[in-house]
Structure 1
């Protein structure tokens, strides 16, 4: 894993809280945001996926630098590692559900839309029946109290039902799946700053570079090297935008021995020089 220079929490603002494997937590929007003047500054979760449910009122969302608005009833799923922040109005009502990254294992195979939604994220409006069902399930989860925080079968079952209610309202078209792609993504995240050759990733999923390339082109629309480069550029962008470290320090953290080469790489991938992210 890349050292976290961006503020990273299990639960926002709680530096001393360590999230165990399989944890789950739910709270109302107001319970935490009122302590921060209704503004949750950009941060990320390195071992959790987060679901924001807005039942009523507005929410301003920052997601990896992109700014957009949600008006309830609506939802947002933030995958592990994505930098996000929120600003709410005092009258906004809703819930924030935080789930351990292991929760994605509840997906029933690679074609299950549950896995796609939690891994890739998404947001949208909630229609009448789905809005009522998700609000009711969120209230039931909240009613379990602290029992859910350490991983609880009933908590997990209700949380899964809530996520699946979102899918039923707005189905995810994930297309054909392949378990090897999930392993490839995991290996990229784990070894991102090591600049491993494609042969390393191909061996990790028990195949050849040619087959790996065929898989990523068919299912993801890009070569494996392009996907790795895009992930590197995204991580660099996060560090440049949300931390005070220099471009040369970002280059070193991401495994680039030559800051000039990093600058050219960043320009090629984003159309900007690293210094422009600070402008």
Structure 2
């Protein structure tokens, strides 16, 4: 499907690279590039759109601009730190000459990384879009600058242990973001009360941020949508409307996307059989798990696993998603 026909069929443009048709990222896809590398191609502006399964973290070292997330505009000036979770509709307008880095990570990479984190608040850190101006020459600014520089160095060097080093640096970046948010929590609460008329996240975004960790905890239990809504203290219609406004997907589609992510991780990174994987994901009938997966992926779980094994063998053990950990396997540029 062309980008033009995609835009005609969806109210919210959905891309891989900005302006190109969507694609499915490698489960452990990570990429980092400078802001000018991409923004010079688009006159320093990216119109509102969304990605399936890709999150962004930006560190702005010079210049500034405007982040649009769920219709809320937030201005930022360097030094600034920005987080954009997967599926959130977002856009940027950078001042010409703005510099810094854009880190792009797949949901599979983040889910695997955060699953090992013992702190629940760290797992929730990337749930909301953020744009924070930083104080120059402070510990938080220095920690983030150091983290992005280390990720960039590891990404380009291809040393042994590259994937593990990048994962460790991303974890430290998320810890810095968590501490930054905690230090400003009182101010955030005051601003958030103004909702869309202020600089804080909208009620829809805050509701989605509460839903995400709940889905992570209960997607294997196959909760009905009414149970998620009740746990959040809203009606199913209110929850579904918020999900659609923020991500373009229904509540059920978001839960199914989480199930598919875990299924793909199990198929690629474990040797478990289909029945064992399905049962671990809450499917008592292996045939139903196979139908569920096939309808959404367009091929059976067995075919999906075979294709990844063949890709890894064809890559000669270098750069495939199994051996190379999916780090920018195609060498493509980072979406925004």
Shorter chain as denominator, the TM-score bin is: 0.5 to 0.7
Please list, as runs of the form range in 1=range in 2, the aligned pairs for 1:90-105 lying within 5 A after superposition: 90-102=96-108, 103-105=110-112
Q: Does 1:165 align with 2:183?
A: no
RMSD: 3.6
Distance, in Å, in 2 between the alignment partners of 1:34 and 1:62 is: 19
Q: CA deviation at 1:153?
A: 1.7
Give the aligned partner of residue 153 of structure 1. Answer: 164
Structure 2 counterpart of 1:216, from 216, 232, 236: 232
Distance, in Å, in 2 between the alignment partners of 1:134 and 1:30 is: 19
2:182 aligned counterpart, secondary structure = coil
Q: Residues 85-137 of structure 1, C-alpha deviation per residue, up to 9 Å, x if partnerless?
A: 11212332211111111213423568522322222332322231111121121
Distance, in Å, in 2 between the alignment partners of 1:181 and 1:233 is: 19
Q: Does 1:182 align with 2:215?
A: yes
Give the aligned partner of residue 140 of structure 2. Answer: 130
Q: Does 1:7 align with 2:5?
A: no
Distance, in Å, in 1 between the alignment partners of 2:218 and 2:77 is: 32
Give the aligned partner of residue 238 of structure 2. Answer: 226
Change (3 A) 1:131 1:14: farther
Distance, in Å, in 1 between the alignment partners of 2:225 and 2:101 is: 45
Distance, in Å, in 2 between the alignment partners of 1:45 and 1:28 is: 19
Distance, in Å, in 2 between the alignment partners of 1:212 and 1:145 is: 39
Distance, in Å, in 1 between the alignment partners of 2:37 and 2:73 is: 23
Q: Residues 18-68 of structure 1, C-alpha deviation per residue, up to 9 Å, x if partnerless?
A: 521111111111111012221222221111111122122211222222222
Change (3 A) 1:38 1:105: same
Please tell me whether the aligned partners of residues 64 and 98 of structure 2 are also in contact (alpha carbons under 8 angstroms): yes
Using structure 1 for the length normalisation, give the TM-score: 0.62
2:100 aligned counterpart, secondary structure = strand
Distance, in Å, in 1 between the alignment partners of 2:81 and 2:31 is: 17
Using structure 2 for the length normalisation, give the TM-score: 0.53
40-49 or 163-172: which moved more? 163-172
Distance, in Å, in 2 between the alignment partners of 1:223 and 1:109 is: 31
Between Structure 1 and Structure 2, how many residues are aligned? 210
Please list, as runs of the form range in 1=range in 2, the aligned pairs for 1:65-84 lying within 5 A after superposition: 65-84=71-90
Distance, in Å, in 2 between the alignment partners of 1:88 and 1:77 is: 15
